[in-house]
Chain A
Amino acid sequence: MDRIVEYYFNAEVIAGAFPQVLTGFRTTVIVSLLIIVCGTLFGLSLALLRCANLRPVNFIITAYVDVLRTLPQLVVIVFIYFGLPYLGPALSPFATTVLALGMVLSAFSTEIFWSAIMALPRGQWDAASALGFSRLRTLVTIILPQAIRLAIPLLTNRAISISKGTALGTAVSLPETLGQAQSVMALVANPSPLTLAAAFYLTFFLPLVIASRWIEYRYSTGR
């Protein structure tokens, strides 16, 4: 028991590690929020673009979605960080993580928004066009509000699970929570900073996970 306290809950070590792990946590939060915002918005734009029904555009979007949905996140991150510089500019770990995971989330959210739009009965488009609505107006005022409602539970789950991937940034030395905790741990030869990191992840992700449970419940019974 003493050893558990000594190695995992060592107050002195945790206090010493706190400032550095906290800067890491700031990075985690910023990167996660950027991923969620950019990924969702880009995904929505791609789904809307798909509604325009242009064959070559649709082909490119489908390929983009399929590739990024299929590849493991870490593979995308490592590829962008270690592979891309041979062709173009080298990106910072921060930009790499945001770009890679933002792209992955955008692929998933494109698919989610698109399937939600497709899940609505075709009759709604026909009825709107019979009433003289233009296609764009039908999309924005009739289809989208319903589609987004359908998409929200799936989207929140996906957004949370992908933003948790921020911790994968350690692989390209992004100085986020886990990376900072690991570097302190190496210095003091005590894994208590990892406990601190775990606590930080919990304070950020546990409320999101609980909220997603609530959202799922609300959107599945409130109909």
Chain B
Amino acid sequence: MQDFLDNFANWESLLRVYPLLLQGLIYTVWLAVVALPLGILAGLAIAVLYSFKNRWVNIALLIYIDLFRSFPVVVLLILIFYGMPFLGLTLGGFTAAVLAIVLNNSGYYGEIFRAGILSVPHGQTEAARALGFKPLHVVFSIVLPQAIRNVLAPLASNSLELVKATPIAALVALPELLRSARVAQEQTYNPTPLMAAAVIFFVILYPFARWVARLERQALKAR
């Protein structure tokens, strides 16, 4: 037990490195705050485009969705960060990570919103059109509000997964929380910073995880 405490809850080590962890946490929060709305917007744009039912556009959109759902997000990140500079386009770790996460999640969000829009009976669109609503107006004030309610559970779950994807930025040397913890571990020869990072991630994400679990259970019951 003492062995465990010395290694994983060593206050001395934690006191030495906490500024590093704090700075890492700030990067992590920034990554999430920038990538989350961008991912949602991209997915929404895809689903709205899809709802206009242009055959060729829709085939292209489905290919886009499945393509980006098939690539592991790390692969996208490495392609962007290490592959693009050969074309003369060098992105920083932060931008590359945001871009990879957003591209990957635009596919996921696109698919979720698409399913949501499909779940709203088509008669609603027709009725609104008959009442003189413009197509975009129909989508945003009639279809989407109901669609989002129908897919709230997967929407919340995917948003949690997006935030959980931010540590991949560590692979391109961005000093976010996980990377900072690793650096701190090497400095102190002690894994307490790793434990601290895991605890910080858990404390921040746990309320959301609980909420997502509740939504998912309700959705399953409603079927």
Cβ of A70: which chain B residues have Cβ within 8 Å of it? 201-202, 205-206, 209
Interface membership of B178, Cβ < 8 A:
yes
Cβ of B86: which chain A residues have Cβ within 8 Å of it? 3, 7-8, 190-191
Please tell me which stretch of B35-43, B46-54, B162-170 contacts chain A, meaning at least 4 of its Cβ atoms lie within 8 angstroms of it. Answer: B162-170
Interface membership of B103, Cβ < 8 A:
no
Please tell me which stretch of B70-78, B90-98, B123-131 contacts chain A, meaning at least 4 of its Cβ atoms lie within 8 angstroms of it. Answer: B70-78
With A67-B202, A75-B178 as known contacts, state yes or no: A8 contacts B83, CB within 8 Å: yes
Query: Given A71-B201, A79-B194, A168-B72, list of 12 further CB < 8 A pairs?
Result: A7-B83, A70-B205, A71-B202, A74-B167, A75-B178, A79-B198, A82-B191, A119-B221, A170-B78, A194-B83, A198-B75, A205-B70
Contact status A119-B182, CB under 8 Å = no
Q: Which label, helix, strand, loop or mixed, suits the secondary structure of the A interface?
A: helix
Cβ of A154: which chain B residues have Cβ within 8 Å of it? 216, 220
Cβ of A161: which chain B residues have Cβ within 8 Å of it? 161
Contact status A72-B220, CB under 8 Å = no
Bound-state CA distance A119–B220 (Å) is 6
Interface membership of B4, Cβ < 8 A:
yes
Q: Mark B49-77, 1 if CB is under 8 A from A, else 0.
A: 00000000000000000110111111100
Contact status B213-A74, CB under 8 Å = no
Contact status B8-A83, CB under 8 Å = yes
Cβ of B195: which chain A residues have Cβ within 8 Å of it? 79, 83
Interface membership of B15, Cβ < 8 A:
no
Contact status A66-B206, CB under 8 Å = yes
Using CB atoms, name the residue of chain B closest to A86: B7
Cβ of A197: which chain B residues have Cβ within 8 Å of it? 75
Contact status A73-B178, CB under 8 Å = no
Chain B residues in the interface with A (C-beta under 8 A):
3-4, 7-8, 66-67, 69-75, 78-79, 82-83, 86-87, 161, 164-168, 170-171, 178, 182, 185, 190-191, 194-195, 197-198, 201-202, 205-206, 209-210, 213, 216-217, 220-221, 223
Contact status A7-B79, CB under 8 Å = no
* A-B pairs under 8 A by CB, number: 137
Cβ of B4: which chain A residues have Cβ within 8 Å of it? 87
Cβ of B210: which chain A residues have Cβ within 8 Å of it? 66
Cβ of B223: which chain A residues have Cβ within 8 Å of it? 119, 150
Contact status B178-A71, CB under 8 Å = no
Residues facing B in A88-127 (CB within 8 A) are 111, 115-116, 118-119
Contact status B3-A168, CB under 8 Å = no
The 7 closest A-B pairs by CB, nearest first: A167-B72, A191-B83, A72-B164, A83-B191, A205-B70, A164-B72, A7-B86
Contact status A194-B71, CB under 8 Å = no
Interface membership of A202, Cβ < 8 A:
yes
Bound-state CA distance A4–B3 (Å) is 55
Bound-state CA distance A23–B185 (Å) is 32
Bound-state CA distance A44–B155 (Å) is 25
Q: List 23 A-B contacts (CB under 8 A).
A: A70-B209, A71-B202, A74-B170, A75-B197, A78-B178, A78-B182, A82-B194, A87-B8, A118-B221, A150-B220, A161-B161, A170-B78, A171-B170, A171-B171, A185-B82, A191-B79, A194-B83, A198-B71, A202-B71, A205-B71, A205-B72, A206-B67, A209-B70
Cβ of A79: which chain B residues have Cβ within 8 Å of it? 194-195, 198
Cβ of A206: which chain B residues have Cβ within 8 Å of it? 66-67, 70
Bound-state CA distance A171–B182 (Å) is 12
Contact status B71-A201, CB under 8 Å = yes
Bound-state CA distance A119–B171 (Å) is 40
How far in angstroms is the closest Cβ of chain B from A20? 16
Contact status B83-A178, CB under 8 Å = no
